[in-house]
Chains A and B, each alone.
Chain A
Amino acid sequence: MKLKRTTMVSLCVAAISLTSSNISQAETLFWSTQAKPVEEAQAMRDNVLANAGQKVDFQPNDGGPWLTRLKAELEAGKGSIGMLGALHGDFTSLPADALVDLSEVDLGDTKVNSTFMELGKLGGSEQKYLPWMQATYIMAANKKALEFLPADADINALTYDQLIEWAKNMAEKTGSPKFGFPAGPKGLKHRFFQGYLYPSYTNSVVTKFASDEAIVAWEKFKELWQYTHSGSTNYSFMQEQLLSEDVWVAFDHTARLADAFNQKPDDFIGFPAPAGPTGRGFMPVIAGVAVPKTAADAASAKQLAAYMLKPETQLATLRTTNFFPVVEVALPDDMPAAVKIAGAAIAAMSGSADANPGLLPAGLGDQGGKFNQVYVDAFERIVLAGQDIKQVLDEQKEDLRKIMNDTGAPCWAPDKPSEGACPVE
């Protein structure tokens, strides 16, 4: 009797381990922080990954759980994750030896944007990730808002002063604020400060964090905030408020405006972010694919990475996620409205005479979250809590300096390149 039970147990164990090893061989687990909404994730599986030539298990997750599982696998020295899909900032927070060098991956004739390829090296010589898709932040407006636009303003070349005047006009003439800003818990407000407000007023992100120019920038933002919808502290995806017409004008990530453009293409327009004294600051968002060193089958993962960069795959990804291709490819005419509207706005923004493109924060390692928190704290203290601007910036500056010194991260555009850690003045 006893013998029989042991046999049963070992049979069960064997059966379980057999099935699990079968799964890991047959499928590549694509562990992603992108394409998280349920419909997007399903569209990734059905429309993008179905033709990959291998079985792919696409599993998107929030940044925290994503990193927790990956770190656990790295620490254990073995794992089931085959390929990673994440933002540039997610990859910078990984240990230096976490990712396999992808420079040998055969990309065929595909021409990948060289700036992004360079970013994918994370400051070293190995290709830590391959660029996968890109996006940026733009402005969107309901056409109803246009009649309140200041008379001398050109929507494709707005300044921050004109935006404030526009928001003021709308608030005063319609009875309630109509400008919306994604300041909610999942909103991407920090990117606005890092990539838009600071570069436009100080031509810097880090070095001049607490400068006189930065004080002006925050004063301007406070002025804009007076005419900003007070629900903004709960907004995370501005497409929702644009569609519900709670707000008429908004700033957000292109992928977070896409539903508005797609559902009512005749009601909304997209246009460039405004310009300040030091130009029209803007920042790209890059997502990449990478293979962790613990991948069970690195060869199929690399094949999958190459597949993700094929022009056809890139177009399918664009339709699914509203993130733009990172390879040279002509956009067909039947693209969704969001792609056309956002594409035109991005072209106008990057092609403007005063364009001041920044780069994503780089070299911050696992301090990326704390770096963002410096800007979020400054916002919450100055704008929401009404604290003194200079005092807040001087205090937050110390946190920022500590992060830069601890990580030794050199400056990135628009800050001037630095020897060693980027200085905070």
Chain B
Amino acid sequence: MEAKRLPYLLLLPATLFLGIFFLYPFGLVAWQAFSSDSGFTLSHFSTMTGHWKFSTAFWNTLLLALAVVPIQLIMALIMASLVSHMQKGRDIFLYIFTIPLGISDLAAGLIWLAIFEQSGFLNSMLHGLGFIDQPVMFLGYQSPVIIFVAIMLAEIWRATAIMLVIIVAGMGLIPKEYAEAAEVFGASRWQTFYRVTLPLLRPSLQTALILRVIMAFEVFAVVSALSGTTFPVLMSETYRYQFDLQDGSVAAAIAMVILAISIVFTLFFLRVLRVPKGASL
């Protein structure tokens, strides 16, 4: 009897904690987004969509996620394959690859700012090599493409490791016999990867993509460090409404939008990368 109840007892504190510090505030925020003094309202959402920056922020956020996540996925797969095939020094490489994970996203933004800003490392280097006479303004408001690329680079640098870690763990779970069987049948390395490893990685890919995409929709500190207000994203608009404009209701409404697109993408990955029942390892 004791043994049966034990898991529930052990899970209770964490569940209570999440209930009090996550579900309850979440309920409050959701209510704030849909309510005013006179009850239910959608006016906060119309204020939100009525602001000229909202659609820019919305598309910027989506575009950034769409540009960053596929590149990260490919890089993480390549890096994970390399690491899995290593005989020696595997751990050292994994540790080095995951260093950016230990750095806060604001710090990551500031590191890249130090590279790209007018008196930054990139300008010093180009000047030192004689390519330019005067420092170039990379992150000015007139060069949104460069700002976008800089944010992409910083995001890729910062957050590829989280996918890598999940995929390395997933690859470790695939029994060697499958690869050996493929070899026996004369499959090339690429065929083995594409036909054997990738399908068996589905559960890990699903987790990695869901986690990463949700994180991509919450991008904030890197963007604000590199672009200030020139590249609005949904999260920066939430912050602006909450703290600069003191309008928590509209901030809550934007947070609901972020939640909605996160749910849509989560369902998408759950569906596309679903593992048929009984087909697991």
- Interface residues, chain A, CB within 8 Å of chain B? 62-64, 67, 93, 175-176, 184-185, 229-231, 233-234, 244, 246, 366-370, 372-373, 377, 380-381, 384
Chain B contacts for A381, CB-based, 8 A: 52
Q: Does B230 contact A (CB under 8 A)?
A: yes
A176 to B135, CA, bound (A): 10
The verdict on A230 contacting B228 (CB below 8 Å), with A64-B242, A369-B245, A373-B245 known, is no
A246 to B137, CA, bound (A): 11
The verdict on A233 contacting B244 (CB below 8 Å), with A175-B134, A185-B224 known, is no
Smallest Cβ distance from B248 to chain A, in angstroms? Answer: 10
Inter-chain contact B141/A384, CB cutoff 8 Å: yes
Given contacts A230-B140, A231-B118, 20 further A-B contacts (CB under 8 A): A64-B242, A64-B243, A185-B228, A230-B141, A230-B142, A231-B139, A233-B141, A233-B228, A234-B140, A234-B228, A246-B118, A366-B246, A367-B246, A369-B245, A370-B245, A370-B247, A373-B244, A380-B53, A384-B141, A384-B230
Inter-chain contact A377/B52, CB cutoff 8 Å: yes
Q: Does B229 contact A (CB under 8 A)?
A: yes
The verdict on A176 contacting B230 (CB below 8 Å), with A230-B141, A246-B118, A369-B246 known, is no
Smallest Cβ distance from B181 to chain A, in angstroms? Answer: 57
Question: Which of A64, A93, A176, A185 has the largest number of chain B CB atoms within 10 A?
Answer: A185
Smallest Cβ distance from A300 to chain B, in angstroms? Answer: 30
Smallest Cβ distance from B15 to chain A, in angstroms? Answer: 23
Nearest residue in B to A372 (C-beta to C-beta)?
B244
Inter-chain contact A185/B245, CB cutoff 8 Å: no
Q: Does B36 contact A (CB under 8 A)?
A: no
Smallest Cβ distance from A228 to chain B, in angstroms? Answer: 11
Nearest residue in B to A381 (C-beta to C-beta)?
B52
Contact of B137 among A62, A231, A370, A377 (CB under 8 A): A231
Chain A contacts for B104, CB-based, 8 A: none
Chain B contacts for A234, CB-based, 8 A: 117, 139-140, 228
A67 to B248, CA, bound (A): 13
Per-residue interface assignment for chain B, residues 133 to 149, with 1 indicating a CB less than 8 Å from any chain A CB and 0 otherwise: 01001011110000000
Nearest residue in A to B242 (C-beta to C-beta)?
A64
Smallest Cβ distance from A398 to chain B, in angstroms? Answer: 10
Nearest residue in A to B51 (C-beta to C-beta)?
A377
A78 to B230, CA, bound (A): 41
Q: Does B119 contact A (CB under 8 A)?
A: yes
Chain A contacts for B53, CB-based, 8 A: 377, 380
Inter-chain contact A185/B137, CB cutoff 8 Å: no
A11 to B15, CA, bound (A): 28
Chain B contacts for A246, CB-based, 8 A: 118-119
A64 to B248, CA, bound (A): 11
A244 to B120, CA, bound (A): 12
Nearest residue in A to B239 (C-beta to C-beta)?
A64
A-B contact pairs, 18 of them (CB 8 A): A67-B246, A185-B228, A185-B229, A230-B140, A231-B137, A233-B141, A233-B228, A234-B117, A234-B140, A234-B228, A366-B246, A368-B246, A369-B244, A369-B247, A370-B245, A370-B247, A377-B52, A380-B229
Per-residue interface assignment for chain B, residues 229 to 249, with 1 indicating a CB less than 8 Å from any chain A CB and 0 otherwise: 110000000000011111100
Smallest Cβ distance from A23 to chain B, in angstroms? Answer: 26
Chain B contacts for A244, CB-based, 8 A: 119
Chain A contacts for B139, CB-based, 8 A: 231, 234
Nearest residue in B to A64 (C-beta to C-beta)?
B243
Chain B contacts for A175, CB-based, 8 A: 134
Contact of A230 among B119, B134, B137, B244 (CB under 8 A): B137
Contacting residues of chain B (82-121) with chain A, CB-CB under 8 angstroms: 117-119
Per-residue interface assignment for chain B, residues 144 to 187, with 1 indicating a CB less than 8 Å from any chain A CB and 0 otherwise: 00000000000000000000000000000000000000000000
The verdict on A231 contacting B140 (CB below 8 Å), with A244-B119, A377-B52 known, is yes
A384 to B245, CA, bound (A): 21
A377 to B246, CA, bound (A): 16
Chain B contacts for A368, CB-based, 8 A: 246
Those 7 A-B pairs whose CB atoms lie nearest each other, nearest first: A64-B243, A230-B140, A369-B245, A233-B141, A185-B228, A369-B244, A366-B246
Nearest residue in A to B139 (C-beta to C-beta)?
A234
Inter-chain contact B134/A233, CB cutoff 8 Å: no
Chain A contacts for B229, CB-based, 8 A: 184-185, 233, 380
Chain B contacts for A369, CB-based, 8 A: 244-247
The verdict on A233 contacting B243 (CB below 8 Å), with A175-B134, A176-B134 known, is no
A176 to B117, CA, bound (A): 17
Smallest Cβ distance from B151 to chain A, in angstroms? Answer: 14
Contacting residues of chain B (192-244) with chain A, CB-CB under 8 angstroms: 224, 228-230, 242-244
Nearest residue in A to B229 (C-beta to C-beta)?
A185
Smallest Cβ distance from B54 to chain A, in angstroms? Answer: 12
Smallest Cβ distance from B205 to chain A, in angstroms? Answer: 37
A234 to B118, CA, bound (A): 11
Nearest residue in A to B241 (C-beta to C-beta)?
A369
Nearest residue in B to A175 (C-beta to C-beta)?
B134
Smallest Cβ distance from B134 to chain A, in angstroms? Answer: 6
Chain A contacts for B224, CB-based, 8 A: 185
Inter-chain contact B246/A93, CB cutoff 8 Å: yes
Inter-chain contact B140/A233, CB cutoff 8 Å: yes
A367 to B244, CA, bound (A): 10
Nearest residue in B to A377 (C-beta to C-beta)?
B52
Smallest Cβ distance from B58 to chain A, in angstroms? Answer: 17
A380 to B232, CA, bound (A): 12
Smallest Cβ distance from A183 to chain B, in angstroms? Answer: 9
A93 to B118, CA, bound (A): 37
Smallest Cβ distance from B62 to chain A, in angstroms? Answer: 20
Chain B contacts for A230, CB-based, 8 A: 137, 140-142
Chain A contacts for B134, CB-based, 8 A: 175-176
Nearest residue in B to A185 (C-beta to C-beta)?
B228
Inter-chain contact B245/A63, CB cutoff 8 Å: no
Smallest Cβ distance from B101 to chain A, in angstroms? Answer: 27
Chain A contacts for B140, CB-based, 8 A: 230-231, 233-234
Chain A contacts for B246, CB-based, 8 A: 67, 93, 366-370
Nearest residue in A to B56 (C-beta to C-beta)?
A385
Nearest residue in A to B232 (C-beta to C-beta)?
A380
A231 to B242, CA, bound (A): 27
Nearest residue in B to A246 (C-beta to C-beta)?
B118
Smallest Cβ distance from B2 to chain A, in angstroms? Answer: 19
Chain B contacts for A229, CB-based, 8 A: 137
